[in-house]
């Protein structure tokens, strides 16, 4: 059996960064910027007032000084003339600062009478002017790769970019296998359960930037699995769920092999998730996940999410781990890396009591996967351990 790190390296070797596509800025949230973007203008493009008030010459400012208001400058409607000695321009936030002016006095600091103003005592000392280009200069770069957040979208819009080049979303085909499965909303027979893994994995993969297609459930028969693999054509990554173990009805490896899957590995020293397989199937990468619901979700987090990030051009790196103190002791770990469902409490991390890989309710309660290294000795309360945010 190979280690988790060795499996991850083998999985990275199955994928490459995908090409880019141009999308409207309004649809770019969460996408990965594929190439650097340079600002097409200065922002602001002119020195601008930061407040509502009066623009005048700074060297004339003192308590009791009087000025004649000669014009108005508003956002979108600047004043073309110049401000001379003893003159002021009524100005509003965002308006271009008129020529000759070097300070804005906020309106709270003046007394206005007709076309004249007098400066009050205790003037706000700030100039209230935003210099041209103080936010960004023409040619300044937003660098790729980068997952676009709301603030990035706002900055790109301000740079006057209407469309943006992003990495194409990886397309993942998800195939649940098993005679016992029906879709949510169907009426299960007495021996049947609901296919939950495809839905959990679709959500997980899409939260990492993939586009996931749920294919019809494949039955535990060779022609049914062949049909499912056929329907997966065109996907960048084909993921099967279940049928990966050693039972008489576990046919995924056999059928994938007959259909040309070049196997990279089978079985990883981890818990849950041991009977994991992967390889190349034509142009696509193929990963066969174990069927137990928690095993499938943990493998999704530990293996599929990093593969998606690599395809998005974000680099081939394992999911970053955080650290926390233990709020309860742990027994020694065995020969497989153990991903334990755990809760983050104010006192620290607490592993859930029940760790059976069928228990989705325990997974949904958990907010962390506590990582126990191979043969980790017993741990006491207060020791620092690693975990994945879940």
Ligand X SMILES: Nc1nc2c(c(=O)[nH]1)N[C@H]1C(S)=C(S)[C@@H](COP(=O)(O)OP(=O)(O)OC[C@H]3O[C@@H](n4cnc5c(N)ncnc54)[C@H](O)[C@@H]3O)O[C@H]1N2
Compute how many other C-beta atoms are within 10 angstroms of the C-beta atom of residue 100.
15
Closest CA to 109 of 153, 147, 62: 62
295 binds ligand X (CB under 6 A): yes
Site for ligand X in 153-182 (CB under 6 A): 176, 178, 180-181
- Of 42-50, 271-279, 312-320, 345-353, the segment contacting ligand X by CB under 6 A is 271-279
Which stretch, 57-65, 79-87, 265-273, 373-381, contacts ligand MOO (CB under 6 A)? 265-273
- Identify which of residues 85 and 364 has a Cβ nearer to ligand X in the complex: 364
How far is CA 295 from each of CA 18, 22, 31, 77, 188, rounded to the nearest angstrom?
Answer: 28, 37, 28, 63, 23
8 Å CB contact between 202 and 75? no
Q: What is the smallest separation between the CB atom of 177 and ligand X, expressed in angstroms?
A: 6
Taking the least distance from each CB to ligand X, the nearer of 157 and 182 is 182
- Tokens 């008129």 sit at which residue? 98
Piece of 70-78, 126-134, 148-156, 272-280 that binds ligand MOO (CB under 6 A): 272-280
Strands (E) located in 211-319: 211-214, 237-241, 262-266, 270-271, 277-281, 284-289
* 28 within 8 A of 90, measured Cβ to Cβ: no
Cα–Cα distance for residue pair 91/177, rounded to 1 Å: 69
The reply on whether position 273 binds ligand MOO by CB under 6 A is yes
> Which residues, in sequence order, are CB contacts of 8 under 8 Å at separation 6+?
302, 303, 306, 318
Q: Is 253 in the site for ligand X (CB under 6 A)?
A: no
How many of the other CB atoms lie within 10 Å of CB of 113? 8
Nearest to 238 by CA among 274, 208, 196, 280: 280
Whether 214 contacts 263, CB under 8 Å: no
Q: Is the bond leading into 272 cis (omega within 30 degrees of zero)? A: yes
| Distance of alpha carbon 137 from alpha carbon 258, whole angstroms | 59
Which residue in 168, 274, 341, 372 binds ligand MOO (CB under 6 A)?
Answer: 274
The CB-of-176 to ligand MOO minimum distance in angstroms stands at: 16
Q: Which stretch binds ligand MOO (CB under 6 A): 102-110, 117-125, 183-191, 268-276?
A: 268-276
- Is residue 87 a contact residue for ligand X (CB under 6 A)? no
Decide if residue 20 touches ligand MOO (CB under 6 A): no
The reply to whether 357 sits near ligand MOO by the rule CB under 6 A is yes
Q: Output the smallest distance, CB 2 to ligand X, in A.
A: 15
Q: Which range binds ligand X by CB under 6 A, 13-21, 37-45, 243-251, 347-355?
A: 243-251
The residue among 275 and 279 lying less far from ligand X, judged by its C-beta, is 275
Which one among 165, 176, 292, 333 touches ligand MOO, defined by CB under 6 A?
A: 292
Q: Is 290 in the site for ligand MOO (CB under 6 A)?
A: yes
Classify strands 116-119 and 66-73 as parallel, antiparallel or unpaired. antiparallel
Query: Which residues of the shown chain bind ligand X in the complex (CB under 6 A)?
Result: 176, 178, 180-181, 193, 195-198, 241-247, 250, 272, 274-275, 290-293, 295, 357
Query: Which residues of the shown chain bind ligand MOO in the complex (CB under 6 A)?
Result: 271-274, 290, 292, 295, 357
């Amino acid at each position: 059996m190979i280690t988790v790190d060795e499996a991850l390296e083998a999985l990275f070797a199955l994928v490459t960064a995908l090409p880019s596509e141009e999308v409207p800025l309004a649809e770019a949230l969460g996408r990965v910027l594929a190439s650097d973007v340079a600002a097409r203008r200065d922002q602001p493009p002119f020195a601008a007032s930061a407040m509502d008030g009066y623009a005048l010459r700074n060297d004339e400012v003192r308590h009791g000084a009087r000025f004649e208001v000669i014009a108005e400058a508003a956002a979108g409607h600047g004043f073309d003339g110049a401000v001379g000695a003893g003159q002021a321009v009524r100005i509003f936030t965002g308006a271009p600062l008129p020529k000759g002016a070097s300070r804005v006095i906020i309106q709270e600091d003046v007394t206005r009478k007709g076309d004249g103003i007098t400066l009050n005592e205790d003037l706000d000392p700030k100039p209230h002017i935003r210099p041209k280009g103080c936010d960004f200069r023409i040619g300044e770069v937003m660098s790729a790769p980068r997952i676009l957040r709301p603030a990035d979208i706002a900055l790109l819009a301000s740079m006057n970019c209407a469309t943006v080049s992003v990495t194409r979303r990886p397309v993942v085909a998800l195939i649940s296998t098993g005679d016992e499965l029906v879709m949510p909303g169907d009426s299960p027979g007495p021996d049947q359960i609901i296919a939950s893994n495809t839905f959990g994995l679709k959500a997980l993969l899409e939260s990492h930037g993939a586009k996931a297609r749920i294919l019809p459930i494949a039955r535990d028969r060779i022609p049914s699995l062949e049909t499912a693999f056929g329907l997966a054509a065109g996907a960048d990554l084909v993921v099967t769920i279940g049928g990966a173990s050693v039972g008489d009805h576990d046919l995924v490896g056999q059928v994938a092999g007959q259909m040309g899957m070049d196997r990279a590995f089978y079985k990883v020293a981890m818990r849950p998730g041991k009977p994991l397989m992967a390889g190349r199937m034509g142009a696509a990468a193929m990963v066969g996940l174990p069927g137990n619901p928690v095993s499938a979700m943990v493998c999704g987090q530990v293996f599929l999410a990093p593969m998606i990030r690599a395809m998005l051009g974000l680099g081939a790196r394992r999911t970053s781990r955080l650290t926390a103190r233990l709020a309860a002791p742990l027994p020694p770990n065995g020969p497989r890396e153990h991903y334990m469902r755990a809760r983050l409490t104010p006192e620290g991390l607490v592993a859930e009591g029940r760790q059976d890989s069928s228990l989705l309710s325990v997974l949904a309660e958990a907010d962390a996967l506590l990582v126990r290294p191979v043969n980790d000795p017993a741990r006491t309360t207060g020791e620092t351990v690693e975990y994945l945010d879940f």
